[in-house]
């Protein structure tokens, strides 16, 4: 196990507070928690790609970053009347 994989494991623990905020928070707080979880997942995938020396994980992280941004905008548009 190298430093990249240890850092990825530590970042995965950061998803727990995001999940708590998404479940217990208001609609706006849940949207922020969703965006933060997406950012943590992207960085975790980048660390895993470097730790395992696998190039396709970099592409997967890039696609996830774009879809997270687009998904958050869609949710914000759908929740516009409650925000």
* 3-class DSSP string for the chain: CCHHHHHHHHHHHCHHHHHHHHHHCCHHHHHHHHHHHHHHHHHHHHHHHHHHCCCHHHHHHHHHHHHHHHHHHHHHHHCCCCC
Residue 32 lies inside a defined structural domain of this protein: yes
Task: Say what the pLDDT of residue 28 is.
Answer: 87
Residue 50 lies inside a defined structural domain of this protein: yes
Residue 57 lies inside a defined structural domain of this protein: yes
What's the whole-model pTM score?
0.86
Residue 83 lies inside a defined structural domain of this protein: no
Query: What would the pLDDT profile of 58-83 be if each residue is shown by its tens digit?
Result: 999 999 999 998 988 888 888 887 66
Calculate what percentage of the chain has a pLDDT beyond 70: 98
Query: Considering its fold, how many domains does the chain have in total?
Result: 1
Range of the domain at 28: 3-78
Residue 47 lies inside a defined structural domain of this protein: yes
Residue 43 lies inside a defined structural domain of this protein: yes
Residue 34 lies inside a defined structural domain of this protein: yes
At 11, is the pLDDT very low, low, confident or very high (cuts 50, 70, 90)?
very high
């Amino acid at each position: 196990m190298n430093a990249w994989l240890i850092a990825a494991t530590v970042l995965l623990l950061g998803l727990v507070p995001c999940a708590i905020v998404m479940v217990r928070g208001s609609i706006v707080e849940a949207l922020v928690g969703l965006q933060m979880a997406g950012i943590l997942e992207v960085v975790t995938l980048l660390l895993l790609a470097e730790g395992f020396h696998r190039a396709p994980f970099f592409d997967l992280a890039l696609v996830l970053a774009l879809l997270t941004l687009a998904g958050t905008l869609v949710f914000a548009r759908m929740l516009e009347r409650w925000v």
